[in-house]
């Protein structure tokens, strides 16, 4: 990619979050992440080009030096900062504007700094096995997978109903979403196959901004609020059918949408548990008795059959959960420590750099996070370490998992590859289809120190509303499940795990 010969027509709109917009190259497996500003700042950017460069470099450093150590470097892609021609950036902004969701247009793309983060395009991998079928990529934003301890919360409901489920009521009532999602993160992080299957079904039926499917690099399924061009569920399953017909020797036979859905769910569960990829030790649930179930989840506890509980220690979900659990105090328990740090900084403003409030995100920062004392000695150093732990945990609570699936053809495998594939299938799978699989974690930006008071106020609003409403939702906000969401099929799919 020659930075001095950039053409806006070589790039297309890919998606966006709260703070950045992403474009992907039409041929190369590359994406650019560009910063966004509020519309009112569009004429006068809130920071200089050098400040923008430093902000993006902080993202790279935080991902490579901190989150990669905690989550595992096999899952993370830190990228690099690039400086782009300003005319290219301006033309690109004009080109993608009409493709953006209307509800995202309260912010504009940064056209002044010329700085961006360059990353691999995980929805369209550059290196994969030869196939006539484009790769699939599924993006899951799992959110927080545990309940806080009763020691640090003022409302008992927070130890019974998870933050995501309470937040759903708040978002639906305030018009952010038209319908409530029945997904509960505690089901996905449980390690129990039935609960995980149920959780993924709910993500499929009401994806909101927590579930997307890409085919050949193009987003084909997300919430209608996110993209008006998104397929409906039945059209999606029809489009996915060839991926599962081929692998299941059903080329000339009919495969129902329900069977396609069940196969897709099985592939995702197997991938998230890292089945067939060398496994890892099953870790026991460190969340305590009763803290691994959310009372708002509609999954029936009595439906759980005897089976494995907990997550494999080296699975992507386990690594994310353990990092989330660095938040040992909840926002309520953390806020007094934040105030201790804030008072210290008001008295000694030059200490901000020494305490690494805004970075640098290096080995010293990671050491503060990993070696925080268990007991509060009243020091500023202790308070800073707990604040840093909380910020890291918040990043893990807001990350995205990208599962890339490339169909493989058993007949084209060499003898060694075929025997390995069959060995994996004989051990843990009942039949094909076969996919070459990679798993990555994205959206690993550092959360700003100044956001902690905002987090406390939002937490109070969410809990207060949930208690006032009694957990009731506006009429019509529950999505009726289509007929394809019946009982779970127990057939499974073969996955081949290759290093990224």
Supply the DSSP string of 211-274, one letter for each residue.
EEEEETTEEEES-TTT-TTPPPHHHHHHHHHHHHHHHTT-TTS---HHHHHHHHHHHHHHHHHT
| Centroid of chain to Cα 99 | 23
How far, in Å, CA of 394 to CA of 392, rounded? 5
DSSP codes joined into one string, 53-108? HHHHHHHHHIIIIIIHHHH-TTTB---EEEE--HHHHHHHHHHHHTTS-GGGTTEE
| Residues whose CB falls within 8 Å of the CB of residue 423, separated by 6 or more in sequence, listed in order | none
Tens of pLDDT, residue by residue over 224-278, are 766 666 788 999 999 999 888 765 555 546 788 999 999 999 999 999 998 444 4
Give the residue among 112, 126, 99, 143 at the shortest CA–CA distance from 44.
Answer: 112
Q: What are the counts of helices (DSSP H) followed by strands (DSSP E) for the chain?
A: 15, 12
The residue whose two tokens read 């149920």 is 198
List C-alpha distances in Å: 30 to 22, 101, 119, 348.
Answer: 10, 22, 6, 44
Separation of CA 205 from chain center: 18
Phi, psi dihedrals of residue 415, rounded to the nearest 5°: -60, -40
| Whole-angstrom distance, CA of residue 149 vs CA of residue 286 | 12
Backbone dihedral region for residue 276 (phi beyond 0: left; psi -120 to 50: alpha; all else: beta):
left
What is the signed CA dihedral for 214, 175, 392, 360, rounded to 10 degrees? 90
Percentages of the chain per state (helix, strand, coil), in multiples of 5: 40, 15, 45
Instruction: Give Rg (Cα) of the chain.
Output: 23
Which residues pair with residue 96 across a beta bridge?
none
Cα 62 to Cα 446: distance, rounded to the nearest angstrom: 6
What pLDDT score was predicted for residue 390?
98
Angle of CA points 331, 336, 339, to nearest 5°: 110
The residues facing 456 across adjacent strands are none
Give CA separation, 288 vs 95, 159, 218, 268, 284, in Å: 51, 11, 41, 27, 10
Closest CA to 175 of 225, 140, 212: 225
Residue with tokens 């290093």: 499
Among 120, 144, 187, 197, smallest CA distance to 438 is for: 120
Grouped pLDDT means (10 residues each) for the chain, 500 residues: 81 92 93 94 87 97 97 94 96 94 90 95 70 86 95 94 95 89 96 95 95 92 74 90 69 77 93 64 51 87 63 94 97 98 97 96 96 94 98 98 82 40 34 76 96 97 92 61 50 54
First to last CA, the chain: 21
Phi, psi for residue 332 in degrees, rounded to 5: -70, -40
CA-based max dimension of the chain: 75
**What's the pLDDT at 43?**
80
What pLDDT shows up at residue 498? 55
CB 340 within 8 A of CB 380: yes
- Residues 6 or more apart in contact with residue 237 via CB below 8 angstroms: 257, 260, 261, 484
- Residue 422: Cβ-neighbour burial (10 angstroms; 0-12, 13-18, 19+): middle
pTM of the model: 0.87
Tokens of 435: 């996919």
Contacts of 34 (CB under 8 A, 6+ apart): 20, 21, 22, 23, 89, 109, 110, 115, 116
- What values do phi and psi take at 473, rounded to 5? -115, 155
Task: Report whether 124 contacts 401 (CB < 8 A).
Answer: no
Between CA 463 and CA 472, with CA 467 as vertex, the angle to 5 degrees is: 110
- The Cβ-side half-sphere exposure at 446, using a 13 Å CA radius, reads 28
Q: Which residues pair with residue 139 across a beta bridge?
A: 212, 402
């Amino acid at each position: 990619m020659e930075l001095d010969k950039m053409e806006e027509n070589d790039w297309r709109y890919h998606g966006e979050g709260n703070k950045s917009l992403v474009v992907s190259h039409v041929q190369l497996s590359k994406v650019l992440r560009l910063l966004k500003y509020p519309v009112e700042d569009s004429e006068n950017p809130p920071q200089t080009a050098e400040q923008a460069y430093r902000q993006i470099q902080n993202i790279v450093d935080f991902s490579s030096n901190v989150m990669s150590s905690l989550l595992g470097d096999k899952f993370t892609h830190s990228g690099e900062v690039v400086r782009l021609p300003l005319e290219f950036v301006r033309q690109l902004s004009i080109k993608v504007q009409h493709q953006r969701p209307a509800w995202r247009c309260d912010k504009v793309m940064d056209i002044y700094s010329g700085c961006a983060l360059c990353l691999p395009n995980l929805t369209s991998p550059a290196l994969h096995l030869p196939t006539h079928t484009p790769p699939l990529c599924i993006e899951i934003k799992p959110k927080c997978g545990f309940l806080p301890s009763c020691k640090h919360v003022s409302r008992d409901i927070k130890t019974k109903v998870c933050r995501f489920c309470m937040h759903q009521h708040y978002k639906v009532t305030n018009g952010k979403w038209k319908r409530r999602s029945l997904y509960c993160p505690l089901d996905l992080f449980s390690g129990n196959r039935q609960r995980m299957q149920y959780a993924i079904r709910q993500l499929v039926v009401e994806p909101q901004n927590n579930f997307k499917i890409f085919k050949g690099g193009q987003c084909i399924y997300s919430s209608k609020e996110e993209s008006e061009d998104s397929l409906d569920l039945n059209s999606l399953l029809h489009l996915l059918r060839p991926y599962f017909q081929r692998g299941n020797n059903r080329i000339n036979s009919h495969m129902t949408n329900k069977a396609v859905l069940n196969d897709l769910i099985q592939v995702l569960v197997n991938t998230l548990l890292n089945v067939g990829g060398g496994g890892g030790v099953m870790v026991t649930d460190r969340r305590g008795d009763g803290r691994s179930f959310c009372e708002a989840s509609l999954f029936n506890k009595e439906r759980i059959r005897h089976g494995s509980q907990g997550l494999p220690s080296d699975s992507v979900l386990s690594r994310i959960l353990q990092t989330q659990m660095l938040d040992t105090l909840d926002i309520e328990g953390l806020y007094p420590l934040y105030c201790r740090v804030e008072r210290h900084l008001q008295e000694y403003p030059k200490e901000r750099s020494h305490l690494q409030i805004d970075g640098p995100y290096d080995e010293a920062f990671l050491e503060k996070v990993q070696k925080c004392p268990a007991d509060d000695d009243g020091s500023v150093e202790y308070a800073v370490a707990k604040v840093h732990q909380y910020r890291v945990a918040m990043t893990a609570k807001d990350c995205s998992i990208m599962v890339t699936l490339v169909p493989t053809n058993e007949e084209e495998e060499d003898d060694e590859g075929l025997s390995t594939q069959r060995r994996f299938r004989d051990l843990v799978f009942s039949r094909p289809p076969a996919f070459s699989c990679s798993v990555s974690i994205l959206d690993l930006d550092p959360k700003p120190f100044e956001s902690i008071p905002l987090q406390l106020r939002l937490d109070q609003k969410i809990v207060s509303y949930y208690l006032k409403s009694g957990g009731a939702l506006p009429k019509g906000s529950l999505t009726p499940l289509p007929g394809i969401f019946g009982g779970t099929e127990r057939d499974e799919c073969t996955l081949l795990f290759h290093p990224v």
